[in-house]
Amino acid sequence: MSFLAWPLETNRIRRDVTNNTFGTVRRNADGTKRDHQGWDLVATPLTACYAIAEGVIRKSENHSPKGHGKLVILEFVFQGRTLFALYSHLSLVSVVRGTKVSQGEVIAYTGNSGNASGMAGEDQHLHFEVRTELDAGRGLAGRVDPKTLYGRAPREYTIVESHGQKRLLNPSGTGLKINAGDMRRW
């Protein structure tokens, strides 16, 4: 496999801010720094989540209400390394542990579970991580910045992927406008 699929059809960092990307990018109430272990990608509930690579589902479970909530972890091999993609804050999961999946297959649907419960509007999201360990602990250890695998973080622009075709929509961040009336003629 030469490339990773994106986890959603439209991929953009929530609110286009650094603290929704990977790294020591967040602050506690007292001003101390804290880690964020992945990307928060804008997604309204029931948005389809796709397998980024061919692999096997290693976890499909519901974590605590203060954590990831409903989650799926996909084990896959990329550039000779065994990695694990975590998708969390889900509403529905369409795979069980041990399921073999193909790249681009729908494996879950976004939601507001775990510590994303009650989020609305622009704060609804998919939390997406890439791990080097199935059960990575707190902090950044056992994780990889998805930017190193994808070449960029979708911040200030949107990556749209459908049927393996990758394309960048309007890097100015103003979005894509489509006349819905024209779409119905197709």
CATH label, 10-185, candidates 1.10.8.100, 2.60.40.1080, 3.10.450.50, 2.70.70.10: 2.70.70.10
| Residue whose tokens read 């694990």 | 84
- For 101-140, the pLDDT digits (tens) are 999 999 999 999 999 998 999 999 999 999 999 999 999 9
- For 24-45, the pLDDT digits (tens) are 999 999 999 999 999 999 999 9
- For 127-181, the pLDDT digits (tens) are 999 999 999 999 999 999 999 999 999 999 999 987 444 444 445 444 444 444 4
Cα–Cα distance measured from residue 148 to residue 110, given in angstroms and rounded to the nearest whole number: 24
For the chain, the domains span: 10-185
Cβ-contact 41, 159 below 8 angstroms = no
Reported as a pLDDT band with limits 50, 70 and 90, residue 18 is: very high
Query: How many helical (H) and strand (E) elements, i.e. helices and strands, does the chain have?
Result: 2, 14
Q: b/e per residue, 47-61, with b = 16+ CB within 10 A? A: bbbbbbbbbebbbbe
